[in-house]
Structure 1
Amino acid sequence: METYQLTLNNILKYVKEIYSDVEVVYRPPHGNDIRSTYGREYERVLKLADGLNKLGVGPGDRVATLDWNTIWHFELYWAVPGMGAVLHPLNVRLAPEDLVYIINHAGDKVLIYHRDFAPLVEKLKPHLKTVQLYIQIADGQGPATKDVEIEDVIKQGEPKPLPEISEDKVATIGYTSGTTGRPKGAYFTHRALTLHTLVSALAFAGFRGFARPECVEEICTFLQLVPMFHVHGWGTPWTFALLGWRQVYPGRFDAGHTARLIAEENVKSLAGVPTMLYMILTHPDFPKYVEKVRKIRPIFTVGGAALPKELAKKAEEAGFIPRVGYGMTETAPILTLGFFKPTEKIPKDVEEYYHLLTATGLPIPLVDLMVADENLRPVPRDGKTMGEIVVRAPWVTPEYLGDPEKTREAWRGGWFHTGDVAIWQPDGRVRIVDRAKDVIKSGGEWISSLQLEDLILTHPAVAQAAVIGVPHEMWGERPVAVVILKPGASAKEEDIIKHLEKFVEAGKIPKWWLPDKVIFVQQLPLTGTGKIDKKVLREQFKDVLKK
């Protein structure tokens, strides 16, 4: 008797069978809208897979994508793994040098790129050793090339059923953003991604704080805001298809366009990094849509970085329901969500409520999570003792591609080490206080850069803040705050320090946590996934405390 396989193909067949008439929409900031359905997309996926096969793409071949959140990217998410090949979304915001390294290291045979990236691809081509086939997505503003177009690939294909494949077959690969050296490759099987899809669907459909009761009786809309080149778009293209939600793909991220889509497409749920949420709330066009947003009350799940309390408050005032998720490239990604237990009382005190709301959250089903000390022993659940988050789950990558040394380091003791420093609360929630590489060690003691940033953001003149550790002759490291002020606002270094002194007097932070310096800038560097790039800041300001 043959065992039924846990594959994305079997999820796709279910979606086609049950939700065939539900819409899938592509609405880019510039260009023509495309309104399709899951039924139509199913046929296009089959034809795309067959068309790729006719061009010589076979089982195990690695297919890289350089694309925005387009309907073609959605189709590739199903077609490439479905035919037994391996999908490799490339982070479009990485430096060309890193892209060359990643494509060569992964051994990609095919590169499918959006027309916006045509000039970049032409520069990359001479340096790519393994790519044999280039396919262009004829959308956007870039120049046409002689490479075959994806619509022609689909036209040449036939709607043949996808093959039966093993759940242990590799479906996707992805690379870390390389904040601590060269990017590292992780891979995920069909089984891993199917289980991740099932559990995340359970979370978004049934968890208190994430579920929308009205979406049982009506078709609701999810906006795919998370870049699809970033760790499977957090898995939501598959998850919300399985749930039967209508999906809207917005193309390249544009904050004003996003606000318009939320209002016009009646978006009930979306997700993104804090920077995206901030850009939407502060966009000059947002006031046009704020009343509609307040009527819809969309859930905005924030991940990729900590959600500052002040940003959460602004989001709620604007009509969003802010929630928190946590994961990383190596974990497919979801590990925790900021949901509420069925018997849990929501705090009435405002500060206590936002403290709870912005916690990293509780593990989702099938995630075994521990906050551990250096000897892999659980730290006390006292909300004070710091340790590293270590995890085991069916969807955590088993290894780094071609790097046994980093694999051993990451999986020491049988647990995957995330590098995130956290505290464990009595209710089982975790709260990340820093990345291991970002935590500031001063005089042998730890200072949480995230906590300092959260407090600086409560100053009425501050728009954004990053706190970094800077070398210090006596203390090893000392905190330095890098701040962007709101338009038209003014503040001096002593104003920020005096503001923080209030929290010292209130007993929230010790006095020695106060930054040695406050630097005002016009913009902060971002990583390819929209997070503040502290590595760049540390290099830029490494000498500011030298005498």
Structure 2
Amino acid sequence: MEKYQLTLSNLWKYIKEIYGDVEVAYLPPHGNNIRSTYGREYERSLRLADGLRRLGIAPGDRVATLDWNTIWHFDLYWAVPGMGAVLHPLNVRLAPEDLVYIINHAQDKALIYHRDFAPLVEKLKPHLKSVQLYIQISDGLGTATRDPEIEDVIKQGEPKPLPEIGEDTVATIGYTSGTTGKPKGAYFTHRALTLHTLVSAVAFAGFRGFARPECTEEQCAFMQLVPMFHVHGWGTPWTFALLGWRQIYPGRFDPNHTVKLIAEEGVKTMAGVPTMLYMLLTAPEFPKYAEKIKAVRPIFVVGGAALPKELAKKAAEAGFIPRVGYGMTETAPILTLGFFRPTEEIPKEVDRYYDLLTATGLPIPLVDLMVVDEGLRPVPRDGRSVGEIVVRAPWVTPEYLGDVEKTREAWRGGWFHTGDVAVWLPDGRVRIVDRAKDVIKSGGEWISSLQLEDLIMTHPAVAQVAVVGVPHEKWGERPVAVVVLKPGASATEQDIIKHLEKFVEAGKIPKWWLPDKIIFTTQLPLTGTGKIDKKVLREQYKEVLR
């Protein structure tokens, strides 16, 4: 018998047949609204695939995107993998130097970009070795360069059926943020992403106490807040299409615009990093829509960083239903979600409830997860014994592109090593307590402490430096640099910041990486092996930004 292929294309055909009349809306802050349907976007995605083929994109070619959460990005999610090519969403927040490295390393043949990034793309072009085709998404605002416009590509294409492709065909690639060296590339097949979509749909539709809002299919609306350049937008563009929900794409994230859409469109579910949730709760326009939001009672799934208990409580008071998920770039991304077993009693005691709510959660189906010691032995499920989270799942990347050594290190012992340190709770939940590497997570984005330290060390007055992440109410964590000056040398906080700003201007680091504070000291604490003890520094300065 012929093996039926698990592909995104086959899911897309099903969605068109069953949910063809369900709305897909693009409602950006600038007001050029588009209200479409799955059926209409299905046809547009076929035309887009054919238009790209006519421009020279063939199966196996890699197509990079620099875009917000637009309806064109949604079409590209289906069209590019559907034609047998490889979708490569680029993180728009990376430094130009990292974008050049990633595009060249991935050997992207095409770059499709939003007009907002036209100046950036013009600066990148001379350094991009493999890109042969540039296409702009003008977003109804007019083109900013002479590159072809995506709507013209769609109009020139025909709605030809997508080709039959194998489920082991690579569908997407994505890169880590390069927190411990150069960014690493991970890839995902159609089979991996189809299984991830199916299991995610089961989770959102049926897990007790997780999603399953009180609404009919016609009323259920999902808003894509997670940037679509973050690990497939956490897979939700595909997942909520399969569920037949209305989908709303709000363009570039704007807190005031978002709270308005939640209230006026009756958004029932969304997802994002804790900073996004914080920004919604503190948006100047929030009081105007507070009562409507309480009536809607939207679910907000938090991932990308730990959900602080106080933020979860504030969200609940404001009418949101906070939930938690966990994953990473290499895992497509979902590994765990904060749901309850059918026979499990949901705690009535407030602190206990939020302890469970903000834990990393339980594995979703087909995820094999352990918390282990250095010998790959499971740690006791006592909530105290610390170990590393290791996983196996059909959607975990099998390797890093072109990096045998990093692949071997990540997959040692037959398990993927996440680098996240956690405890295992008696009920099977995991709670992340630290990171194996001293990266800083600010607003859901990674900041490399090592890279900042290297740049600060180039200042002629600096002898030693340690950069650590300290708690921040809005961003979760922000970098603070602790500096030891050379004997007889002098420098001020502003001197160090101005020194770093030179590297921002040179495109080596983004501006938001700049430390919030520079602290001068005469000696840095050391571990027994002579290394700087960052745990001591994090504890010592944990209140410095409050």
TM-score bracket for the superposition, by shorter chain length:
0.7 to 0.9
Residue 192 of structure 1 is matched in structure 2 by: 192
Q: Is the CA contact (8 Å cut-off) linking 1:138 and 1:149 kept in structure 2?
A: yes
Residue 134 of structure 1 is matched in structure 2 by: 134
Q: Judging changes above 3 Å, is the alpha-carbon distance between structure 1 residues 51 and 418 closer, same or farther for their aligned structure 2 residues?
A: same
CA distance in structure 1 between the partners assigned to 2:278 and 2:522 by the alignment? 29
Q: Judging changes above 3 Å, is the alpha-carbon distance between structure 1 residues 70 and 32 closer, same or farther for their aligned structure 2 residues?
A: same
Q: Is the CA contact (8 Å cut-off) linking 1:114 and 1:140 kept in structure 2?
A: no
CA distance in structure 1 between the partners assigned to 2:283 and 2:217 by the alignment? 33
The alpha carbon displacement at 1:545 in A equals: 5.4
Q: Judging changes above 3 Å, is the alpha-carbon distance between structure 1 residues 284 and 401 closer, same or farther for their aligned structure 2 residues?
A: same
> Is 2:428 aligned against 1:428?
yes
Q: Judging changes above 3 Å, is the alpha-carbon distance between structure 1 residues 61 and 478 closer, same or farther for their aligned structure 2 residues?
A: closer
Residue 240 of structure 1 is matched in structure 2 by: 240
Q: Is the CA contact (8 Å cut-off) linking 1:49 and 1:83 kept in structure 2?
A: yes
The alpha carbon displacement at 1:138 in A equals: 1.0
CA distance in structure 2 between the partners assigned to 1:485 and 1:51 by the alignment? 47
CA distance in structure 1 between the partners assigned to 2:518 and 2:388 by the alignment? 28
- Give the SS at the match of 2:48: helix
- Give the CA RMSD over aligned residues: 2.8
Residue 175 of structure 1 is matched in structure 2 by: 175
The alpha carbon displacement at 1:175 in A equals: 0.3
Sequence identity percentage: 80
CA distance in structure 1 between the partners assigned to 2:76 and 2:418 by the alignment? 29
Show CA shifts across 1:117-164 (max 9, x none).
000000000000000000000127685211111001000000000001
Q: Judging changes above 3 Å, is the alpha-carbon distance between structure 1 residues 307 and 242 closer, same or farther for their aligned structure 2 residues?
A: same
Residue 52 of structure 1 is matched in structure 2 by: 52
CA distance in structure 1 between the partners assigned to 2:313 and 2:520 by the alignment? 33
- Give the SS at the match of 2:222: strand
Q: Judging changes above 3 Å, is the alpha-carbon distance between structure 1 residues 372 and 30 closer, same or farther for their aligned structure 2 residues?
A: same
Residue 98 of structure 1 is matched in structure 2 by: 98
CA distance in structure 2 between the partners assigned to 1:208 and 1:533 by the alignment? 42
Residue 299 of structure 1 is matched in structure 2 by: 299
Q: Is the CA contact (8 Å cut-off) linking 1:424 and 1:431 kept in structure 2?
A: yes
The alpha carbon displacement at 1:215 in A equals: 3.7
The alpha carbon displacement at 1:349 in A equals: 1.3
Residue 327 of structure 1 is matched in structure 2 by: 327
Higher mean Cα deviation, 285-294 or 239-248? 285-294
CA distance in structure 1 between the partners assigned to 2:215 and 2:39 by the alignment? 20
CA distance in structure 1 between the partners assigned to 2:468 and 2:403 by the alignment? 35
Residue 519 of structure 1 is matched in structure 2 by: none
- Give the SS at the match of 1:119: helix
The alpha carbon displacement at 1:535 in A equals: 8.3
The alpha carbon displacement at 1:283 in A equals: 1.0
The amino acid of 1:36's aligned partner reads: S
Residue 542 of structure 2 is matched in structure 1 by: none
Higher mean Cα deviation, 331-340 or 346-355? 346-355
Show CA shifts across 1:249-300 (max 9, x none).
0000011111011001100000000010001101111111111111111000
**What are the within-5 Å matches in structure 2 for residues 465-504 of structure 1?**
482=470
Residue 116 of structure 2 is matched in structure 1 by: 116
The alpha carbon displacement at 1:538 in A equals: 11
Residue 75 of structure 2 is matched in structure 1 by: 75
CA distance in structure 1 between the partners assigned to 2:217 and 2:241 by the alignment? 17
The amino acid of 1:254's aligned partner reads: D
The alpha carbon displacement at 1:438 in A equals: 3.4
Residue 458 of structure 1 is matched in structure 2 by: none
Residue 87 of structure 1 is matched in structure 2 by: 87
CA distance in structure 2 between the partners assigned to 1:172 and 1:381 by the alignment? 36
- Give the SS at the match of 1:173: strand
Q: Is the CA contact (8 Å cut-off) linking 1:116 and 1:140 kept in structure 2?
A: no
Residue 281 of structure 1 is matched in structure 2 by: 281
Residue 162 of structure 2 is matched in structure 1 by: 162
**What are the within-5 Å matches in structure 2 for residues 23-34 of structure 1?**
23-34=23-34
Q: Judging changes above 3 Å, is the alpha-carbon distance between structure 1 residues 540 and 186 closer, same or farther for their aligned structure 2 residues?
A: farther
Residue 418 of structure 2 is matched in structure 1 by: 418
The amino acid of 2:3's aligned partner reads: T
Show CA shifts across 1:501-520 (max 9, x none).
xxxxxxxxxxxxxxxxxxxx
Residue 400 of structure 2 is matched in structure 1 by: 400
Show CA shifts across 1:185-212 (max 9, x none).
0000000000000000000000012232
Residue 203 of structure 1 is matched in structure 2 by: 203
The amino acid of 2:229's aligned partner reads: F
**What are the within-5 Å matches in structure 2 for residues 262-277 of structure 1?**
262-277=262-277
Residue 461 of structure 1 is matched in structure 2 by: none
CA distance in structure 2 between the partners assigned to 1:533 and 1:363 by the alignment? 36
Q: Is the CA contact (8 Å cut-off) linking 1:116 and 1:141 kept in structure 2?
A: no
Q: Which runs of 5+ in 1 are unaligned?
A: 440-448, 454-465, 487-524, 526-531
The alpha carbon displacement at 1:356 in A equals: 0.8
Residue 249 of structure 2 is matched in structure 1 by: 249
CA distance in structure 2 between the partners assigned to 1:239 and 1:427 by the alignment? 28
**What are the within-5 Å matches in structure 2 for residues 336-355 of structure 1?**
336-355=336-355
Q: Judging changes above 3 Å, is the alpha-carbon distance between structure 1 residues 367 and 542 closer, same or farther for their aligned structure 2 residues?
A: farther
Show CA shifts across 1:72-111 (max 9, x none).
0000000000000000000001000000000000000000
Q: Judging changes above 3 Å, is the alpha-carbon distance between structure 1 residues 132 and 409 closer, same or farther for their aligned structure 2 residues?
A: same
- Give the SS at the match of 1:270: strand
Residue 372 of structure 1 is matched in structure 2 by: 372
The alpha carbon displacement at 1:479 in A equals: 11
CA distance in structure 1 between the partners assigned to 2:465 and 2:362 by the alignment? 32
Q: Judging changes above 3 Å, is the alpha-carbon distance between structure 1 residues 171 and 268 closer, same or farther for their aligned structure 2 residues?
A: same
Q: Judging changes above 3 Å, is the alpha-carbon distance between structure 1 residues 63 and 22 closer, same or farther for their aligned structure 2 residues?
A: same
- Give the SS at the match of 2:271: strand
Residue 214 of structure 1 is matched in structure 2 by: 214
Show CA shifts across 1:399-447 (max 9, x none).
00000000000000000000000000000000000111139xxxxxxxx
CA distance in structure 2 between the partners assigned to 1:280 and 1:544 by the alignment? 41
The amino acid of 1:415's aligned partner reads: W
CA distance in structure 2 between the partners assigned to 1:539 and 1:436 by the alignment? 24
Q: Is the CA contact (8 Å cut-off) linking 1:423 and 1:432 kept in structure 2?
A: yes
Residue 316 of structure 1 is matched in structure 2 by: 316
Show CA shifts across 1:42-79 (max 9, x none).
10010000010011100000000000000000000000
Q: Which runs of 5+ in 2 are unaligned?
A: 454-463, 475-500, 502-509, 526-546
Q: Is the CA contact (8 Å cut-off) linking 1:45 and 1:78 kept in structure 2?
A: yes
CA distance in structure 1 between the partners assigned to 2:221 and 2:522 by the alignment? 48
With normalisation by structure 1, the TM-score equals 0.82
The alpha carbon displacement at 1:541 in A equals: 5.1
Residue 391 of structure 1 is matched in structure 2 by: 391
The alpha carbon displacement at 1:540 in A equals: 5.3
Q: Judging changes above 3 Å, is the alpha-carbon distance between structure 1 residues 148 and 431 closer, same or farther for their aligned structure 2 residues?
A: same
Q: Is the CA contact (8 Å cut-off) linking 1:381 and 1:424 kept in structure 2?
A: yes
Residue 41 of structure 1 is matched in structure 2 by: 41
The alpha carbon displacement at 1:181 in A equals: 1.3
The amino acid of 1:76's aligned partner reads: L
The amino acid of 2:85's aligned partner reads: A
The amino acid of 1:382's aligned partner reads: D
Q: Is the CA contact (8 Å cut-off) linking 2:388 and 2:420 kept in structure 1?
A: yes
Show CA shifts across 1:329-381 (max 9, x none).
00000000000111111111111111111000000000000000000000000
The alpha carbon displacement at 1:481 in A equals: 7.6
The amino acid of 2:385's aligned partner reads: T
